[in-house]
Structure 1
Amino acid sequence: MLKHKASFKKSLGLGLSAILLMVLVAGCSGGNAGNQNKEAQQNTNQSANQNADTNEPAVGGTFVYGRPASVNSFDLHNQITANNAFAIDKVFESLITFDSNGEIIDWLAESHSISDDGLTYTFVLRDGLKFSNGTDVTAEDAVFSIQRHLEVGGPLAIAAKVKEVKAQDDRTLVITLEEPYTPFISELSNFSNGIIPNNFGGASEEEFFKNPVGTGPFVVESWDPAGDVTFVKNENYWQEGKPYIDKLVYKLIQDDSQAINQLKAGEVDAIESLALQNANEIKQGPDTAVLTNGSWVTEQLFFNTLDEHFSDVHVRRALALAIDREGLTNALTFGYAQTANSLLPTAIPYNANDTIKPLNFDVAAAKEELAKSAFPNGFTTKLLVASGNSTRAQEAQIIQAAGKEIGINIEIESIELATFRERFFAYDYSIMLNSGQADSPDANSIIAFQTDPEGFSKSYWTHYTNDEVTKLLHEGQKTLDGEDRAAVYSSLLQILADEAPYIPLYYPDILKGVRSSVEGLVVLPNGSLRFEEVRIHK
């Protein structure tokens, strides 16, 4: 998913991860600080759970969540950016999902099974499931949802070759594949595979997504595509008694400093985009705290390989060698990140972060690499950055200085988020800062999004094309989990490190600023939140 966090996902971002996107934002001298932060968060979560066990939950009230981008669509099959994805997942839910540790768990399905040949997936729905309008959820609704996704495709299209989707009975769904596709079970946990009513419940497609009906904990009460969204509790939610809050408001706050000020003043209960340099200030505040989790996000510098300068692999390698990624991480992330060697975050299997040979900081080698290019005397280019994100602004300045050291003059172009997205979607950039994010806990989630030149994102809008990488991408999708699949991704990730169509900078932790009165908020590794158990103590 993309994250203009975000994401990438495929972001996120997002994701990613995404894609796609959000412009979001770990810098330990060796990773210990990040581990300490995770341990502290685990302890915080444990303490919160203990409190929840001994105290009667505070029921009711309104939770206000500050977000940097508005929700402009609830069409789960046509969206990928985090601003929409993390609203869609409050209304629609999938058969399976993932927990805060990234583990796949049953959700709308009470159980699932996969045949030994990897071709047949069987899901049994929970008994008594209802949509928010009170109608029963049946396997036919799931059939319609999956088939609509197959027909639409979209940014998070189902890549598996699906032979048949059928309802075996009211509660049993069977999906049959033409050939094995290892990431399939993981990808079914994406928000894009949420269950919607058969035939949109009788509404037109347009009307349905203006007033969506799902199984999620919340229902859309009011919605301004250029502003705020107000959700109300789904009275028919399958988790009895939840959510505890009556209303959830997504409040648009596009500037980091404004979001922090509103959090401190108690005008919002939490903020989505917490700049890394502000984390300790919020953590130490008298009425505020920081929730963290390891993420599926990789902060990156992206090259448009259609650009005359960055189509040259030697130019890309030169800039990669000129950037002190470890120094950048340590300077900007305050112990809430780890320097990235690989495209894949360490929370994703097969990341090869410890075994890959990256283009480490070496100015002399960078100058030698540039001398091999078609631009040995340097050139002038522009770095596109979304405004409103202070960490990204500092990243841009560090990269600008690194380019200057080897004769590349980098002008920083900072523009508002919506225009930023439009520009890179149209390949109207030379280099940009963004993040890539997995949407599900499988290596393919990021790799496919960032390496497939024929996919939705055209290698994350870089249009990077390498036949060997494409071959390995498809091989990894068909290879069963284990050593053979690890070897495939190790080879693929090394090619990416060598050819540098994008430069992984660091893996940031997910950071959310919250009021100290908030309990029960769950941070997911894709950057989304679960609000079902949120309580606000006044």
Structure 2
Amino acid sequence: MSDKTWRKRALVVAAGVGVSAVVLSGCTSPGGTDSEEAAPEVVDTQIILAETNETTSFNPATPQSNLDINGKLWYATHETFAYINDDMEAVPNESFGTMEKVSDDPLTVQYTLSDTAKWSDGTPVTTDDLLLGWASGSGYFDDATVDEEGTVLSGTQYFTIAGSTSGLSDTEFPEVSEDKKSLTLVYDTPYVDWNLQWLFDQDGNPLPMHIVAEKAGVTTEEFIEAMQSTPRGDPAAPVEPNATIKAVADTWNTAFDVTSLPDDETLYLSNGPFIVDSWEPTQSMTLKINEAYEGERDPAYSTLVFRFVGDSQAQVTALQNGEVDIINPQAGGDTLQLLESIEGIQILTGPQLSYDHVDLSHRGEWADPAVREAFMKIIPRQQIVDTVVKPINPDAEVLNSQTYVTSQTDPYEKTIQTNGSDAYAEVDVEGAKALLAGRTPTARILYNINNPNRVAAFEAIQATATEAGFVVEDIGREDWSAQLESDIYDVSIFGWISPGVGNEDIPQIFASDGGSNFTGVNVPEIDELAAQIQTMTEEADVEEARIKVDQLLFEDYYGLPIFQSPGVEAHTDRISGVTFMANQTGPIWNFWEWTAEDAAAE
């Protein structure tokens, strides 16, 4: 369904950019599984889930691997301290471990691992693994200075992450217990999302330290010793890189990117309910019950299959033919109408915490604000909404904010009154021509050629852009996401989807040093707000900051949001327990609560 995800944002995004919303003050405990309950009887059957994208990595935290499918695979095969339910609440997962705020001044949080947390090779999950996650997510050792395009000019950037280092970057070197069961973080400044650390696939969550170290040619002990003896990085005074930390970081950054199932099983160890069993490239990936798992999220079926089906209509056909059990398509056109004609299925709908958008490069010819403004004037957003979204949601409207979506009613209505979006309510070809003043800039447009909604958006934009004088080059491709950090395009069409909690979309996407700042946007006031928003404890202050960022993005001619994505899920009557999930996890959010008829009934 969605294509890219952002790290801890609050409300939104699906194949494009991200948004954030409310702040969680602490973990709550609705739902979940009673630890005293017996594990469910496992039925020897499979549940097949259709997914738009194909797996590209077993480490979803890097910029090149920040795809929704990689995060979903991580979610099914890994545990952490909590998970997000369909009410956007953080539910503690004490079978993995506990987190406790032990002090407000300074903010101090202790994480304690359970005795049952372990990797599928039998190795316990310890603070060694958490230290690796902290090192990757904090940027603690970095002393790099980078230019507007993200090129390192001096110093060293060790781990490259898709998200922001906000939060973890303000912690001291962690305190670790002798038994390697507890790790304590002390924050230099207050951090509003402290309770969301280590909750998401990109949020400093660890890969197995013993495996990463081995692949890097060092021992776990050597890596920890190197970390303990290396001070916090200072870009103003860069030093020679630590060879051991660099070797581990280089391995973490790239060694887990894959195009087929590796012969080396250690590259896809699991500490969660499922483990990868097989992979047929371009077709499907099969997960089996992880026999080493001792946590509380025990599935009641033996096999989970991701079937890679990019086209939404093809997903509907596969559901109708019984080839898949659950679909979560990038809904468009007649998707809902087709589903309503099928007997024996359940349909779930609702607004997704996601939105589609058009982003503009701030480099080269496009560094000229007049070029970006001219292009924004010719994006036919209403036409795209009418074509793509209204067949599913007749009440759909053009999205006019980069920091809130339409379902966030109150703050959304406030921001669109002041952010300047009204200047782009209608296509203005003549206004674009006036800005270009006879120039004919090249617009290389990147999008996912396997997503019908993106194809429709491209075709609509191509027509009006050409009329205004832009020379449009179609560089749509299957590997579009891997190109977002490249310089092969000037315009990108995609979307972000959010977990529904937290406030990290601003620093991750819109700060000049954000891990997902693909456009090169560099507005000092946004950088200041991105830093401040992480220390705000009042929702009114967060809202004010987000509204200001929204205004600054329009003033900088960042690009335009198009629409909040409609969500459609459907499953056969053979499956029970599926509920609509608006965030990036989709229906898989409670996979351990699903039940299915046995194989004989299939």
Shorter-chain TM band: 0.7 to 0.9
| Cα distance in 1 for residues equivalent to 2:426 and 2:563 | 23
Assess, with a 3 A threshold, how the Cα gap between structure 1 residues 189 and 146 changes in structure 2: closer, same or farther: same
Amino acid in the other structure paired with 2:453:
T
Deviates more, 1:476-485 or 1:299-308: 476-485
> Which digits, 9 at most, give the CA deviation of each residue in 1:260-316, with x for residues without a partner?
3222111111234343221332144113333345433221011122141x3333443
Secondary structure in 2 matching 1:434: strand
**Do 1:279 and 1:513's aligned partners in 2 also have CA atoms closer than 8 Å?**
no
Assess, with a 3 A threshold, how the Cα gap between structure 1 residues 264 and 438 changes in structure 2: closer, same or farther: same
Secondary structure in 2 matching 1:370: helix
Corresponding residue to 1:152 among 148, 155, 159 = 159
Secondary structure in 2 matching 1:386: coil
| Cα distance in 2 for residues equivalent to 1:314 and 1:272 | 39
| Cα distance in 1 for residues equivalent to 2:54 and 2:465 | 34
Corresponding residue to 2:120 among 132, 152, 172 = 132
Assess, with a 3 A threshold, how the Cα gap between structure 1 residues 20 and 327 changes in structure 2: closer, same or farther: closer
Assess, with a 3 A threshold, how the Cα gap between structure 1 residues 481 and 287 changes in structure 2: closer, same or farther: same
Corresponding residue to 2:289 among 199, 220, 233 = 233
Alignment-derived partner of residue 428 in structure 1: 488
Corresponding residue to 1:113 among 88, 98, 101 = 101
After superposing on structure 2, the runs of 4+ consecutive aligned residues of structure 1 that deviate more than 6 Å are 14-21, 347-351
Alignment-derived partner of residue 165 in structure 1: 174
Q: CA deviation at 1:135?
A: 4.5
Deviates more, 1:58-67 or 1:316-325: 316-325
> Which digits, 9 at most, give the CA deviation of each residue in 1:400-441, with x for residues without a partner?
344466x245646263321x2344431211222111233562
| Cα distance in 2 for residues equivalent to 1:440 and 1:200 | 32
Q: CA deviation at 1:469?
A: 1.7
Q: Superposition pairs for residues 13-92 of structure 1, below 5 Å? A: 59-78=43-62, 79-92=65-78
Amino acid in the other structure paired with 1:504:
P
Secondary structure in 2 matching 1:296: strand
> Which digits, 9 at most, give the CA deviation of each residue in 1:74-121, with x for residues without a partner?
124433122322212221222233222222222233443263236311
Assess, with a 3 A threshold, how the Cα gap between structure 1 residues 464 and 375 changes in structure 2: closer, same or farther: farther
Alignment-derived partner of residue 38 in structure 1: none
**Do 2:59 and 2:207's aligned partners in 1 also have CA atoms closer than 8 Å?**
no
Q: CA deviation at 1:227?
A: 4.7
Secondary structure in 2 matching 1:509: strand
Q: CA deviation at 1:251?
A: 2.2
The answer to whether structure 1 residue 175 and structure 2 residue 205 are counterparts is: no
| Cα distance in 1 for residues equivalent to 2:361 and 2:215 | 39
| Cα distance in 1 for residues equivalent to 2:5 and 2:124 | 35
Corresponding residue to 2:546 among 479, 489, 494 = 489
| Cα distance in 1 for residues equivalent to 2:558 and 2:386 | 24
The answer to whether structure 1 residue 93 and structure 2 residue 65 are counterparts is: no
> Which digits, 9 at most, give the CA deviation of each residue in 1:61-80, with x for residues without a partner?
11122223321221244331
Secondary structure in 2 matching 1:492: helix
The answer to whether structure 1 residue 396 and structure 2 residue 486 are counterparts is: no
Alignment-derived partner of residue 415 in structure 1: 476
Deviates more, 1:212-221 or 1:358-367: 358-367
Deviates more, 1:348-357 or 1:493-502: 348-357
Assess, with a 3 A threshold, how the Cα gap between structure 1 residues 366 and 466 changes in structure 2: closer, same or farther: farther
Amino acid in the other structure paired with 1:480:
T
**Do 2:362 and 2:521's aligned partners in 1 also have CA atoms closer than 8 Å?**
yes
Deviates more, 1:90-99 or 1:367-376: 367-376
Identity across matched positions, percent: 17
Assess, with a 3 A threshold, how the Cα gap between structure 1 residues 291 and 434 changes in structure 2: closer, same or farther: same
The answer to whether structure 1 residue 385 and structure 2 residue 443 are counterparts is: no
Q: How many residue pairs align between the two structures? A: 496
Secondary structure in 2 matching 1:86: helix
Q: Superposition pairs for residues 255-266 of structure 1, below 5 Å? A: 255-266=311-322
Q: CA deviation at 1:369?
A: 4.7
Q: CA deviation at 1:145?
A: 3.5
Alignment-derived partner of residue 211 in structure 2: 200
Assess, with a 3 A threshold, how the Cα gap between structure 1 residues 227 and 187 changes in structure 2: closer, same or farther: farther
Alignment-derived partner of residue 298 in structure 1: 355
Assess, with a 3 A threshold, how the Cα gap between structure 1 residues 518 and 360 changes in structure 2: closer, same or farther: farther
Q: Superposition pairs for residues 498-517 of structure 1, below 5 Å? A: 498-517=555-574
Alignment-derived partner of residue 595 in structure 2: 535
**Do 2:8 and 2:503's aligned partners in 1 also have CA atoms closer than 8 Å?**
no
Assess, with a 3 A threshold, how the Cα gap between structure 1 residues 59 and 347 changes in structure 2: closer, same or farther: farther
**Do 1:190 and 1:440's aligned partners in 2 also have CA atoms closer than 8 Å?**
no
| Cα distance in 2 for residues equivalent to 1:87 and 1:520 | 19
Amino acid in the other structure paired with 1:503:
L
Secondary structure in 2 matching 1:453: coil
Deviates more, 1:340-349 or 1:113-122: 340-349
Q: TM-score, normalised by structure 1?
A: 0.80
Alignment-derived partner of residue 328 in structure 1: 384
Q: CA deviation at 1:144?
A: 4.1
**Do 2:5 and 2:14's aligned partners in 1 also have CA atoms closer than 8 Å?**
yes
Assess, with a 3 A threshold, how the Cα gap between structure 1 residues 131 and 502 changes in structure 2: closer, same or farther: same
Structure 2 unmatched ranges of 5 or more: 19-30, 32-39, 139-157, 217-254, 256-262
Assess, with a 3 A threshold, how the Cα gap between structure 1 residues 481 and 362 changes in structure 2: closer, same or farther: closer
Amino acid in the other structure paired with 1:99:
N
Question: Superposition RMSD on alpha carbons, in Å?
Answer: 3.7
Corresponding residue to 1:354 among 398, 407, 413 = 413
Secondary structure in 1 matching 2:414: coil
Alignment-derived partner of residue 5 in structure 1: 2
Q: TM-score, normalised by structure 2?
A: 0.72
Assess, with a 3 A threshold, how the Cα gap between structure 1 residues 19 and 219 changes in structure 2: closer, same or farther: farther
| Cα distance in 1 for residues equivalent to 2:4 and 2:473 | 21
**Do 1:138 and 1:171's aligned partners in 2 also have CA atoms closer than 8 Å?**
yes
Amino acid in the other structure paired with 2:494:
N
Deviates more, 1:93-102 or 1:122-131: 122-131
Assess, with a 3 A threshold, how the Cα gap between structure 1 residues 92 and 15 changes in structure 2: closer, same or farther: farther
Corresponding residue to 2:514 among 431, 455, 460 = 455
